[in-house]
Amino acid sequence: MTNTALADAGKAPARDKAALREVPVPRLVVVTGFLMMAVSFMVNAMDRQVFAPLLPTIRKEYGFTLQGGGLLATGFTLGMALAGLPAGYLVDRFSRKTVLLVSIVIYSLGTLATPLASGWGDMAAYRIFSGFGEGMQAAALFAAVGAYFSHRRGLALGGIGTAFGVGVFLGPLVGVRLATSYDTWRAPFVVFGLAGLATALIAAFVVSRRMTERAVEASVSTASFDYMPASPYNRNTIALAISAAVGGVVLYGFLGLYPTFLINHLHFTTAQSALAMSCVGFGGVAGLLGGWLGDRVDQRNLLIGGHLALSVIGILVYQVQGTLGWQCVFAFLMGVFGTGFVFPNTNSAMQRAVHPSQVGRAAGLFVTSYYVTAAFSGLLLATLVGSFGWRQAGLWQVTVLPLVAVLALAFVRTSQFNNAVREPTH
């Protein structure tokens, strides 16, 4: 299929909603809609991260092994990976707002069901179900934000990443506080699940379809993208998918078992581990800076620098180790580069590597490639720990693996991105 045909295909669904998209969107509607979508992703992050600091308690009650607990801690990302490509297809063809709302309900119900588990099997099923909803939401959210803010895509997705960082920061702290107050690890899952349902209800009224259904066909009509590959699965997206897969296994392997490492190996208390874990989210606030830079500098070089930084931080966390204060600093830096730089810039670069009418599929590919490896990252790290100990496990998974991403990124050609400055033809 030619790029001209792609443009025509992309315009077909737009004609059905032309009247909706041509109506100017008031600034207040844009601001409230964006903030509401950011809040929904913050709740998503809180749901994800509340499990890890409570894992030692959950393992003790159910008698799970370290490997079984590690798989539960990151297994929800398997649901996210399964949801990515189908959700990307749906948001290119149907209402992004509808997909967004349904997805929030799905992951909230999965969160509410988690405390009802009688054993490892059904708890894993609830975690995967919750992850499926989170993956759907991510694809719809990334596509909606990336399309509406196409000229400031990096900054906008960095803002969404910042909201995620706030959720990562609040999730462990609030979750442990709720578990302590109610004397049960089940309390935060109930509270966060109900918060998710409330978020979906509010978003149904606050988020405007004029914002979520905005497409980039207007850009297509005034710019030529003949220099871009016709397929969304091209050299650039494949290389970026590999780097995303590495980012997922590094960050989520770290997040899933970091509290366990602090408690079992460094002998921190549960509250201390929750504090250190929350610093990852605090570092994620750097998503605004990371996204802003991604709109202004070569994203390939920015991503290479981000992965190299993760490699160095892995040495600090698992080899240097240090006191609680130092671990908080290391965790903060992991958040800065993992969730503030690598995550939003891989996401926006993937969308820039495809024809504008394929943004939804790019968002879906990012979600799948990032989370399919993340799903098994906790199990991988736990297995390495069992065989070699924490130092060697951290060395291989968090320090060496980012170098694979650097190698993959060497094949990216930013001159073929849809935001590349092209010389006018005569």
Q: Domain locations in the chain? A: 13-215+231-414
> In terms of pLDDT, which residue wins out, 377 or 422?
377
Q: Distances from the Cα of 211 to the Cαs of 90, 95, 119, in angstroms? A: 17, 11, 43
CATH 1.10.3470.10 fits 13-215+231-414, yes or no: no
Question: pLDDT above 90 covers what percent of the chain?
Answer: 29
Question: Which residues make Cβ contacts (< 8 Å) with residue 365, sequence separation at least 6?
Answer: 84, 85, 88, 232, 233, 237, 241, 350
Handedness of CA 418, 402, 249, 46 (dihedral sign): negative
Range in 61-70, 95-104, 212-221, 222-231 the model is least confident about: 212-221
Q: Which amino acid is at 363?
A: A
Stretch 321-344: mean pLDDT: 90
Highest mean predicted confidence (pLDDT) among 2-6, 112-116, 361-365: 112-116
pLDDT at 214: 65
pLDDT at position 269 over 90? no
- Over 70: is that where the pLDDT of 285 sits? yes
Say whether pLDDT at 388 is over 50. Answer: yes
Residue 186 confidence (pLDDT)? 92
Residue type for position 199: T
pLDDT tens, position by position, 10-58: 443 444 444 455 556 778 888 888 899 889 889 888 887 788 788 888 9
Token pair recorded at residue 124: 């894993």
- For range 312-323, the mean pLDDT: 89
In the block, which residue shows the tokens 């799905």? 106
Note the pLDDT of residue 249.
92
What is the Cα–Cα distance from 330 to 315, expressed in whole angstroms? 10
Q: Are 108 and 196 in contact (CB under 8 A)?
A: yes
Q: Which of 102-106, 139-143, 280-284 has the highest mean pLDDT?
A: 102-106
Residues in contact with 152: Cβ distance below 8 Å, sequence separation at least 6, in sequence order: 295
- Asked if pLDDT for residue 148 goes beyond 60, the answer is yes
End-to-end CA distance of the chain: 25
Q: What is the pTM of this model?
A: 0.73
Mean pLDDT along residues 211-229: 62
Q: Could you tell me which residue, 82 or 239, shows the higher pLDDT?
A: 239
Structure tokens belonging to residue 68: 């079984």
Query: In the structure, what pLDDT confidence band is assigned to residue 105 with cuts at 50, 70 and 90?
Result: very high
